Amino acid sequence: MMKRFPALLAVCCAVLPVAALMAVPVAAQKAAAQTEMPTGAKVAPVAATQAKTTGMRSGPIRYVIIVSVDGLLPASYMEPDAHGLKVPTLRELAKNGAASAGALSVIPASTYIAHTTIATGTNPGTHGIVSNQAWDPLDKNQAGWRWYTEDIKVPTLWDAARAKGLKTALIDWPVTVGAKADAVVPEYWRASSPEDMKMTRALAKPPGILDAVVKRMPDFWKEFTPPDIKDKAATEIALYLIETQKPQLVMLHIFEVDHWQHEKTPWSPEANAAVENADAQIARVIASAKKAGTWEQTALVVVSDHGFTRYSKQVRPGVLLKEKGLVTMDDRNRLTDWKAVVVSNTGTAYFHVKDAGDEATKKTLREIFEPLAGKPGTGVGRIFTHEQIVAMGGDPEAYLCIEAAEGFLFTWGYTGELNSPARGPAGHGFAPDHKDMKASLLFYGPSIAAGKLDGARLVDVAPTVAGWLGLKMDRAEGRALPVKITAKRVRK
Ligand SMILES: [Zn+2]
């Protein structure tokens, strides 16, 4: 998730101009949710495969463990040999589980936005986590991210599970500071100093949970120094909880793969080592559920939040806003007022207009960016209107959105160079239909049949899980995926 360089950015694909409305419009998603049914299932998977579940438990799955491997590319399990990957666990999941060759992410395809979609079954415009960083046009919040659960506008999977009396555990899952789960070790950092470990200890619940983990893993605090958290340490918390608390819903987020793909590009030796390490952590989770005696009734979901693409150049669109007088800066180059601001998400950038009735500023924004869209060398690929943004499930407060062209990313700020070399070799944050933004999605367990999942989206994960556990998620915009369940039903 690139916490240390939140402004780091990404890029786009083919330089397509405006039109090309990508992702499936929200209205169409809702229609799909109402019409899609599993085909000829002997054992109806998610009961009636409805987004709006009934709250009745009907299948053999009593436990769900969701492991998000941040930035994991579907090719890591679809074609591991092509990249020399030793990933026995992912291979097994892809072979004997229900696998997507690439699930549709969200706009922008970035960490906090996508994780909240996974957790709620809704698009960003509905759940409210529309970018990684908190809304902060005057830059007063020290680049703070959207860490706090209270900013999620719709119920989450853990809310729905708790409402049904199930035990829940959240480990390093984004946007979980303040989450009402039974066990929470939220993802949070501030100054990236040892002081942040104290905050982690203070926020972790139930109290003493991390002391118990240290007993199992004495070097835990060497491996858990926010925001640098090793996958092994985060996973150890999950193992402890699975073995001692047997939560019915576990949501674990690990992100060394994302880190190394940002730093060295996907398929670099470092990134491959991180993927192999993530594979080992997933194996540990399975072993832990077996040890706890819950595996036979467990469904494991391995998911990622976005893909990755390479870039070499960056564009700072804010410079153009300043040139046109849309922002006011003081003598230290700090923003003091604005008619329009840019919120960069690496592969895309949103523009917000302060006064909704300010047609002159809207016109100026269009005049700046429409001629650049799709023009070689500008770094701007596609451009999306407010209506298109809303139709894609993006930020309903944004007036305009641009996506970076192939080889480019968008960065923050209003001063400095308009064009410069990229600060890193690879990233994300593009529109979800970008050729490199597809996310990973695998379902696996003793009662899940092997199969391929076509057309899966991250917005479908929560309704699928909700169906298995009999949870009510009335606000979900995705649909339960037709994952086939093979085991006999157990007691109701
Ligand atoms: Zn991510």
Q: Tell me, in angstroms, the distance from the centre of ligand 1 to residue 235's CA.
A: 17
| Contact indicator for 36, 374 with CB cutoff of 8 Å | no
pLDDT for the residue numbered 47 = 33
Residue 7 has pLDDT above 70, yes or no: no
Distance CA 317, CA 361 (A): 15
Q: Tell me, in angstroms, the distance from the centre of ligand 1 to residue 175's CA.
A: 13
Q: Tell me, in angstroms, the distance from the centre of ligand 1 to residue 360's CA.
A: 36
At 150, the pLDDT band (50, 70, 90 cuts) reads very high
pLDDT for the residue numbered 391 = 98
At 27, the pLDDT band (50, 70, 90 cuts) reads very low
Q: Tell me, in angstroms, the distance from the centre of ligand 1 to residue 230's CA.
A: 15
Distance CA 251, CA 170 (A): 5
Q: Tell me, in angstroms, the distance from the centre of ligand 1 to residue 56's CA.
A: 33
CA 52 vs CA 17, 34, 56: distances in Å: 37, 9, 11
pLDDT in tens, 47-93: 333 334 444 445 799 999 999 999 999 999 999 999 999 999 999 99
Q: How many CB atoms lie within 10 A of CB 371?
A: 12
Range with the poorest average pLDDT among 28-37, 104-113, 177-186, 479-488? 28-37
pLDDT for the residue numbered 397 = 98
Distance CA 239, CA 163 (A): 24
Q: Tell me, in angstroms, the distance from the centre of ligand 1 to residue 301's CA.
A: 16
pLDDT for the residue numbered 59 = 72
Q: Tell me, in angstroms, the distance from the centre of ligand 1 to residue 323's CA.
A: 33
| Contact indicator for 418, 316 with CB cutoff of 8 Å | yes
pLDDT in tens, 470-488: 999 999 999 999 999 986 5
- Domain chopping of the chain, boundaries: 6-43+311-427, 52-309+436-469
Residues, the chain: 492
CA 228 vs CA 206, 209, 284: distances in Å: 22, 20, 21
Residue 19 vs residue 486, higher pLDDT:
486
Q: Rounded mean pLDDT of 130-143?
A: 94
Residue 309 has pLDDT above 80, yes or no: yes
- The average confidence (pLDDT) of the chain is 89
pLDDT in tens, 97-118: 999 999 999 999 999 999 999 9
Q: Tell me, in angstroms, the distance from the centre of ligand 1 to residue 258's CA.
A: 6
Q: Rounded mean pLDDT of 213-225?
A: 97
Q: Tell me, in angstroms, the distance from the centre of ligand 1 to residue 71's CA.
A: 5
Q: Tell me, in angstroms, the distance from the centre of ligand 1 to residue 307's CA.
A: 8
Distance CA 436, CA 434 (A): 6
**Which residues partner with 177 through β-bridges?**
148
Give the HSE-up count for residue 309: Cα atoms under 13 Å, Cβ half-sphere: 32
Q: Tell me, in angstroms, the distance from the centre of ligand 1 to residue 259's CA.
A: 9
Q: Rounded mean pLDDT of 340-356?
A: 98
Nearest to 347 by CA among 421, 266, 402: 402
At 34, the pLDDT band (50, 70, 90 cuts) reads very low
Nearest to 310 by CA among 264, 349, 372: 264
pLDDT for the residue numbered 234 = 98
Q: Tell me, in angstroms, the distance from the centre of ligand 1 to residue 114's CA.
A: 8
pLDDT for the residue numbered 51 = 37
Residue 335 has pLDDT above 50, yes or no: yes
Q: Tell me, in angstroms, the distance from the centre of ligand 1 to residue 94's CA.
A: 21
Question: How open is the CA angle 388-392-395, to the nearest 5 degrees?
Answer: 85
Q: Tell me, in angstroms, the distance from the centre of ligand 1 to residue 316's CA.
A: 22
What percentage of the chain exceeds 90 in pLDDT? 85
Q: Tell me, in angstroms, the distance from the centre of ligand 1 to residue 423's CA.
A: 17
CATH topology of domain 52-309+436-469: Alkaline Phosphatase, subunit A (3.40.720)
pLDDT in tens, 392-448: 999 999 999 999 999 999 999 999 999 999 989 999 999 999 999 999 999 999 999
At 13, the pLDDT band (50, 70, 90 cuts) reads very low
Q: Tell me, in angstroms, the distance from the centre of ligand 1 to residue 221's CA.
A: 23
Q: Rounded mean pLDDT of 458-467?
A: 98
pLDDT in tens, 272-300: 999 999 999 999 999 999 999 999 999 99
Q: Tell me, in angstroms, the distance from the centre of ligand 1 to residue 326's CA.
A: 31
Q: Tell me, in angstroms, the distance from the centre of ligand 1 to residue 371's CA.
A: 31
Q: Tell me, in angstroms, the distance from the centre of ligand 1 to residue 12's CA.
A: 17
Rounded to two decimals, the pTM is 0.89
Q: Tell me, in angstroms, the distance from the centre of ligand 1 to residue 268's CA.
A: 18
